[in-house]
Amino acid sequence: MRTKAAILWEVGTPWSVEEVELDDPQPGEVRVKLASSGLCHSDDHAVKNDIPTGLPIIGGHEGAGVVEEVGPGVTRLKPGDHVVMAFMPACGHCRWCASGISVLCDYGAVIMSGLPIADGKPRTHARGQGLMRMSLLGTFSPYAVVHQDSCVKIDDDIPLELASLVGCGVATGFGAAVNRAQVGPGDTVVVVGTGGVGSSAVQGARIAGAEHIVAVDPIPFRREQAELLGATHSVASMEEAMPLVTELTRGVMADRTILTASLATADMLKPLMLLTRKGGRACLTSTANPGIDKVELLLVDVIFGQKEIVGNVFGGCNPHADLPRLLSLYRTGELKLEELVTKRYSLEQVNEGYDDLLAGRIMRGMIVF
């Protein structure tokens, strides 16, 4: 079928919205008609080459929609099903899936290729070339042919437009607080960088019962929004957070710290660990340039403070178990989704959306189809 998509042809260039040819679903695949796509910062990392991807690629990895057609051998989905697309697919039977950490599924090795799990051959074409799809999804298009293992069926009463947000940012941030940092009742939590992911970490910390949640962000609008979503305090930098957290905890420092700034840089770890109490835990979530192999750290503080540093992919979520549960929290009113979306865009406005994101004028932007 003919449809359109936002394509990155070369590093450092704008998204180009143009006509594409989409093949029929192959074995194990489904065609999804998308309702919306969130604008995650990670797609811009692909533009800037902080996340190296194959090119040309259709952007977007935060989508939800309705299954329109299923290919041969699809067992878990049928036309009409509502699905959220998970940016990490889960095969269900590799060592990691089988032991309950499907976020580390062996499929992770292929998602950066952007080419279908089944046969590695592109399903979308433009200008006579095969196109890759971000995270095997490519949600900057009204239609996507994706593997059933990338799709999580959700209840029909959940607004599809908002459901897309749990396909990456909300799950990653919420899970950063709840699964990876393991925030507990009464904790003091510092979230560094409160965009779409960080403000979801703020919500996770609030729902987990944290007492103090300190939002750190240089952009005043982001700080205000983080406070609406549950931050009890906000400051512009980790430096400013130091005396505040010292005072709030009578010198103990934060039980949990979460790094969700635009990009993790080598100089961020030292202050982050100094904000973390002895025996506390820091959760690193931001993307880092793959070339960074040296960081600044007060080593003695980490060793003799017995501090933990944990990584984070997709909030440590098992998509089939956790994404529907996040949507249940939306249903009960505890997890705010509408409040995250500052502005809706058409596909043609995708570059405007990223200009707004990078300038901090929006929390999450959303393309609506």
Q: Which residues are catalytic?
A: 40, 42, 45, 61, 168
What is the distance between the alpha carbons of residues 255 and 282, in angstroms, rounded to a whole number? 9
Closest by Cα among 21, 136, 148 to 72? 148
Which one among 34, 77, 105, 117 touches Zn ion, defined by CB under 5 A?
105
Is 196 an interacting residue with respect to ligand NAD (CB under 6 A)?
Answer: yes
Please report whether residue 34 would count as binding ligand NAD according to CB under 6 A. Answer: no
190 lies in the binding site for Zn ion (CB under 5 A): no
Among 142, 195, 280, 319, binds ligand NAD (CB under 6 A): 195
From the number of C-beta atoms within 10 Å of its C-beta (0-12, 13-18, 19+), residue 75 rates as exposed
Site mask, ligand NAD, residues 133-172, x = CB under 6 A?
-----------------------------------xx--x
- In the complex, least distance from residue 217 CB atom to ligand NAD, rounded to whole angstroms: 4
Q: Which residue in 42, 199, 225, 260 binds Zn ion (CB under 5 A)?
A: 42
Cβ–Cβ < 8 Å for 253, 246: yes
Between CA 189 and CA 226 the distance in angstroms is 13
DSSP string, 91-142: -S-SHHHHTT-GGG-TTHHHHTTTS-TTTS--SEEETTEEEEEGGGT--SSS
> Interface with ligand NAD by CB under 6 A: which range of 157-165, 181-189, 215-223, 271-279?
215-223
Shortest Cβ 256–Zn ion spacing (Å)? 22
- Identity of the residue, 185 or 311, whose beta carbon is nearer to ligand NAD in the bound complex: 311
179: left (phi over 0), alpha (psi -120 to 50) or beta: alpha
Please check whether residue 340 is in contact with residue 129, taking contact to mean a CB–CB distance below 8 angstroms: no
Q: Which is nearer to ligand NAD, 42 or 124 (CB)?
A: 42
Among the candidate windows 9-17, 74-82, 93-101, 222-230, which touches Zn ion by CB under 5 A? 93-101
Residue in 86, 67, 52, 76 with CA at minimum distance from that of residue 144: 67
Query: Minimum Å distance from CB 121 to ligand NAD?
Result: 27
360 binds ligand NAD (CB under 6 A): yes
Which spans of this chain sit near ligand NAD (rule: CB under 6 A)? 40-42, 45, 168-169, 172, 192-198, 216-219, 222, 260-263, 285-287, 312-314, 357, 360
